[in-house]
Structure 1
């Protein structure tokens, strides 16, 4: 292994101040409801809305600002996302009357959660694609009440019009102009205007992530997401300019985003660094991308593809690109990633917007134990069972003995009553 460009170490900073700040926001929203939300809107957004819920009139006005092409693009992207979500839903089948022994019948039902909130971040950019990614699979899953929220454009009191249209096209039942940790608290505990939900999904800044962490248990969440990441495995067949574009596509998200290149060829690695520097000269978002690349960009030359696989699995990235001549050589060896992009034709940004897979993915090594948001995020697999009288009498002595062994006489008695 040879490190050509090394990233800064991410330190395990003490987040006590963040935890305390978010806890205070949650407590305030629980105590004062809508009043607290409007106070935070005034403080952070420089605007106080009369109504937190977005009206049909506002949604229609947002459509008026869209070009026909903009609307068609959103519809085309949604169609692919919806089609894939439906295909995924089709793989989740119910199980009925499985019998481990005569007279005992087991099964499970696949049940959608009753309500969810899809949190769409608004920070630096209007991330309307995230509205499609969150709301569409929730609707396909069959969630009866799909609420959506997003921060307003600073000083206006309005959600960005493209985000608002995307929320509507995706099928949101309710839309609220509220963001930040206070939005998470509102949907977790409820206010005078906002009815609480069963689950909250979606990315956000560190305050949103911490609020989701603190509210977990009161509500379900997808996962706690951090800064965006991409890891690219490349060999001599890759184009340095393409690699540079893919790396910087992640860097422009956030100064804390990470772009990581693993190459089996040192010349390619050096040429890619040069291509990144050249692209940064003209990139509109170079202010953010430069900071991310300088601080967290990393380029490593490895002796073999097997070493690249081991490194990638240890890193467990959000996005993993395999840009090599024969991807099939290593695909089955890769086990830790949020989403996998196979071959040089498959840009990670295609998945960000329109190919159909979800872009709401685990970061900071969470892909070791979870995948991204998908239709199954909104579904519960709940078991059931029934028995014949004969089977009940047959299994009851076994359960009676096991319960007595644990010292649980009430359990033992409940079994004994069956025989």
Structure 2
């Protein structure tokens, strides 16, 4: 009797790792992409999705990049942690803009602020660690925390508290596993700016509880109404040894596409992050670094002009949104976003549908008003919409008026 041969049994493995497969696409970029696709198809969509200044990069910065292209020094590898002259310029810029005194070996230059955020969490966190994450939060924070194997502990705020957590809120969420707090002021997505006394109070609380603070200061120059941005390690100097500041040129200098950010922190953390970056991507593109050097070393005149335009648009969009029944739009004091509550509108009838979530409402607004906004679910707080006012004045007014006309139909 012959025996049949049997092929060895194999278990088919997932094609994508669980770690990467669990990452959600950036909601803000997804909304912006959909708006651009509809516009390319001929629909007059106005996009309030992406947080991107509509101004060109200032001419003197572009000229520095053009010159850098022709310089053979920039055609080769450079130190993974950044051009030494750019790191020194970031030291000077940090002292000038926030009063924080640092040294060049406390700086690493990254491919944009997103890499700075990712790299900071990857350097500091281990599986089982917890990070306090005030919500509404920028969409990338929880994904970067998860990639490090840690857990985000969401601390929810709302429009009644000005979207700012208190020390009591943070303390209530703290556990023995809490290693870090993510702090973003001025805030994306809400535009909230923490007052100096709250910054100092939270910084002292972090020191008392041996908690790291990762503070995202990329909107530091975009503040209005006489409000002051305060860097937490300046307000609480004893925090500096357990604090990483992330920043970049994208928002301040209208350089989102140039991809230059940085981390500032204790030397051992920066050295470890540099080791990671040496394997991850080596140096940031030298031409972009040369452009960033010109940006941070130069005057802030162009920044002041952009801020004046943003301020004008901020006041316009708050006025227009506040006139829409059922929309509650707090006045933001920083960045270039508004974060109105639309909870009163949910469940009401609109063109044969009753949107139960801000995701469904945003979809109806895109379909019927041809206006793209990002739903609050993307930022951890359903019932809200985020609109960026970093777009032209005419488009801003037209877009919100279209949105208002549609929402006025809700019954």
Same fold (TM over 0.5): no
If you compute each CA radius of gyration, which structure gives the higher value, 1 or 2?
1
Normalized against structure 1, the TM-score is what? 0.28
